[in-house]
Chains A and B, each alone.
Chain A
């Protein structure tokens, strides 16, 4: 029995037909070919699959596609249309990108955080980054990059 689900994806209205239960990550990667969202653990721990659902950062590998009706979904592709987003630039400049597999998820997490709270405290940044696993960097550069991203985003908002 096919089920039609309509939602907004990266600013555009979209309808998909689901013939079975499917996590949002599988829908994005396998059905919609949006491969920027990564699968690292498939049980909601590592954060590589993080996307923004109705303004909140969620782990798409444990998010049911059936819940998407009327929702607004933003993926890394939505932030990477052309120019480099300030959060991406800050992470690049700070040396946060090594293998890069965890990076898109972290970009989305920080985007959700700074959209909701542009002046997020350091402790708040640490709290959201704790939802992500990075095996390469030891996190020092990511924390530094996140703080730079916060100031870049705040500066943009003030303009």
Chain B
């Protein structure tokens, strides 16, 4: 499709203010009479609270109130209502809120918090799903099973299993019976942090007129609004949640996270705004973590290479609360097949309570974990079968006419994993893999991938579009810019739909539940698809209004009127025309009488026929997929075990590239996040549940010199039918192939099968030493 503005580079509308330090982030907000909160975390990851003595803290300078959870009677959660704002009678993880101080300054609050005395009775600690699932494990939630939950979630009362997801397609036993080759292995994707450079924070202000004002750097202001309204028994309309600039998210600022805790604290200082901003330590210990999934996977194949069946048991160390993690486990279950056809699927995932901070969304949402397993296991299977791993994959790619694990039929419009894989193969094979030399081993690895969205029944995205009388356009959305470049997408899509240059489109920066249209949450790489469709719908409504208005001037039925962005004209006589500007507020006849409608419209869009799961764990929970493939060339230094990524190749079928520079930035960023998890990042949690590396000094995020030396990034453009101009989502996808392709390349280099990450130099050296000893 030829487009005027889609497919070209435009500068982000927020870039200059951000580069000048003038953008307002959460911690930059200053309000009259603002108070500051500090939160006390426990000494134990699992313990009964015997007593809390707040008297000394109350007497400290500047203290307005000291808050505990003793009188807190409400629980919350969108999926499983198992969360509490502050510990009531026990603590379940090391980052739990035990008490808080509200003071006139942060410094005073931090000083006073040291004077709260808590007595605990420690309980046994379980930090891994497998430990928590064993018979006799201590229950982390005695009420597991009694909490309200969505019907698709299946807790197992009397255990620590908060959710047991089962997908059954065909009969895996039959696959085993027919198979010539069966391979099984366990893989582990440990707990990591999204680690946006801006930490979580919120301000809550219980006003004396009964309304609640909240500011949060969250991707789900409307969920926060409805949650606070429900908890504090006021109408949703009485709660206003505003979101300033967000300094990165990668998932962990979606779902309600810290806002209930800050609200509970602020409810003890009614009339004044209370701010809490996480330190890096608090961000790592008390917000949401990512991943934490062990995947035991078995694949059955015929000797000609055809995959027959797949069995998955995925064990998710979901943390002390499962509300935000249970759907991650589901996604890890039904997406563990990767982009391959298996007629027989037996996929189960277990969401397991552990004494670790809760897991939530983290770029990829269950997909990187399961596909780390499948892409590693296919390489292992290929070796067992004596086949080329690329050829083995190619025989089994999902494509038009095939049916995925969920039971969804695939069409051409879902895109082509095969074409992506071919591009990656070409880019990698353009240069031969270097032979081992004195200093380095060299390896090459590949992984294909697939990402479904994450939705919910009311997952729609709204848009308010106004075509102003001077030719400028105002678009108000509920979608949150977290760095992904959504505002540029809005400008380009609205510009395309209305045929006006994108720089004439102004998009709201602050999202505000009072003034912005509803959006469920900005997650799952779905803004371009659904938000973009909403913009096109609103634009079409505006054009229809403009044509109606023009019909008075041109004395012609609307369906004979054309529109080109500047003019409305009679199709059969284009010289008979009126400027769009002249009918943007209606049409004024020469005598001053005005008729018509304002050129503004609201709209929304959701994924068509998105559904929950049936009794077999199947259903329309995918709808819109993006397929891709990735691969890399790396070198391993013999003396240090250090891995350097020489070349990383990515290709995704994104339907339509909206902004080439931005999409490249999304891919380079996502790939490096995947490299971080593969080589460096892991939250180290001791058997006592304490996190030993809760800061960037020891939790290492990749730096500039650790990025790939060369990145090849290509796209296939098979138009989608839901997204605007054929576009589909790509935000999370670049993470998916990093871990499996890097570990496949590590095997290629040194013949060692790593099944968990990160693959650190220490581990590589130790494995090389073992291998050298002939073990």
The reply to whether B483 and A99 form a contact with Cβ atoms under 8 Å apart is yes
* Bound form: Cα–Cα A135–B280 in Å: 14
The reply to whether B485 and A98 form a contact with Cβ atoms under 8 Å apart is yes
Name the contact of A36 in the complex, choosing from B22, B246, B695 (C-beta under 8 A): B22
What are 10 A-B pairs with beta-carbon distances under 8 A?
A: A40-B197, A42-B280, A92-B11, A100-B17, A135-B195, A135-B669, A137-B668, A138-B669, A138-B707, A139-B668
* Bound form: Cα–Cα A38–B28 in Å: 9
Name the contact of B247 in the complex, choosing from A84, A99, A138 (C-beta under 8 A): A99
The reply to whether B280 and A43 form a contact with Cβ atoms under 8 Å apart is yes
The reply to whether A76 and B20 form a contact with Cβ atoms under 8 Å apart is yes
Residue of B nearest to A93 (CB): B11
Residue of B nearest to A108 (CB): B21
Q: How far is the CB of B18 from chain A (nearest CB, A)?
A: 3
Contacts of A139 in B (CB 8 A): 668, 672, 703-704, 707
Sort A-B residue pairs by CB-CB distance and give the 9 closest, nearest first: A36-B21, A100-B18, A99-B483, A101-B247, A138-B668, A76-B21, A80-B20, A98-B483, A138-B672
Contact mask for chain B residues 632-674; partner A; CB cutoff 8 A; 1 contact, 0 none: 0000000000000000000000000000011011011111110
Q: How far is the CB of A114 from chain B (nearest CB, A)?
A: 15
Q: How far is the CB of A20 from chain B (nearest CB, A)?
A: 7
B763 interfacial by beta-carbon distance below 8 Å: no
Contact mask for chain B residues 697-708; partner A; CB cutoff 8 A; 1 contact, 0 none: 100010111010
* Bound form: Cα–Cα A33–B483 in Å: 25
B624 interfacial by beta-carbon distance below 8 Å: no
The reply to whether B711 and A99 form a contact with Cβ atoms under 8 Å apart is no
Which residues B192-241 have CB closer than 8 A to chain A?
194-199
Residue of B nearest to A143 (CB): B704
| A interface residues, Cβ below 8 angstroms from B | 20, 29-30, 33, 35-43, 45-46, 48, 75-77, 79-80, 84-85, 88-89, 91-93, 95, 97-104, 107, 126, 129-130, 132-143
B55 interfacial by beta-carbon distance below 8 Å: no
Which residues B1-58 have CB closer than 8 A to chain A?
11-12, 14-25, 27-28, 30
* Bound form: Cα–Cα A79–B697 in Å: 29
Please give the number of chain B residues whose Cβ is less than 8 angstroms from any Cβ of chain A in the complex: 58
Residue of B nearest to A20 (CB): B107
B245 interfacial by beta-carbon distance below 8 Å: yes
* Bound form: Cα–Cα A88–B106 in Å: 32
Contacts of B257 in A (CB 8 A): none
B560 interfacial by beta-carbon distance below 8 Å: no
B484 interfacial by beta-carbon distance below 8 Å: yes
Contacts of B18 in A (CB 8 A): 97, 99-101, 103
The reply to whether A40 and B280 form a contact with Cβ atoms under 8 Å apart is yes
Q: A136-B248, A136-B669 are in contact. Are A100 and B23 (CB under 8 A)?
A: yes
Residue of B nearest to A97 (CB): B15
Q: A36-B22, A84-B20 are in contact. Are A130 and B669 (CB under 8 A)?
A: no
Q: How far is the CB of B82 from chain A (nearest CB, A)?
A: 29
Q: A92-B19, A93-B11, A101-B198 are in contact. Are A136 and B665 (CB under 8 A)?
A: yes
B250 interfacial by beta-carbon distance below 8 Å: yes
B312 interfacial by beta-carbon distance below 8 Å: no
Q: A95-B661, A97-B19, A136-B483 are in contact. Are A39 and B673 (CB under 8 A)?
A: no
Q: How far is the CB of A22 from chain B (nearest CB, A)?
A: 8
Name the contact of B665 in the complex, choosing from A77, A135, A141 (C-beta under 8 A): A141
The reply to whether A141 and B668 form a contact with Cβ atoms under 8 Å apart is yes
* Bound form: Cα–Cα A119–B245 in Å: 35
* Bound form: Cα–Cα A139–B24 in Å: 23
The reply to whether A38 and B198 form a contact with Cβ atoms under 8 Å apart is yes
B74 interfacial by beta-carbon distance below 8 Å: no
B696 interfacial by beta-carbon distance below 8 Å: yes
Residue of A nearest to B11 (CB): A92
Q: A38-B198, A43-B697, A138-B671 are in contact. Are A126 and B665 (CB under 8 A)?
A: no
Known: A89-B19, A100-B19. 12 other contacts (CB 8 A): A35-B24, A35-B25, A76-B21, A97-B15, A98-B248, A99-B198, A134-B197, A135-B196, A136-B665, A138-B711, A140-B668, A143-B704
Contacts of B701 in A (CB 8 A): 46, 133, 135
Residue of B nearest to A134 (CB): B197
Q: How far is the CB of A77 from chain B (nearest CB, A)?
A: 7
Contacts of A130 in B (CB 8 A): 703-705
Contact mask for chain B residues 242-276; partner A; CB cutoff 8 A; 1 contact, 0 none: 00011111100000000000000000000000000
Contacts of A40 in B (CB 8 A): 197-199, 247, 280, 696
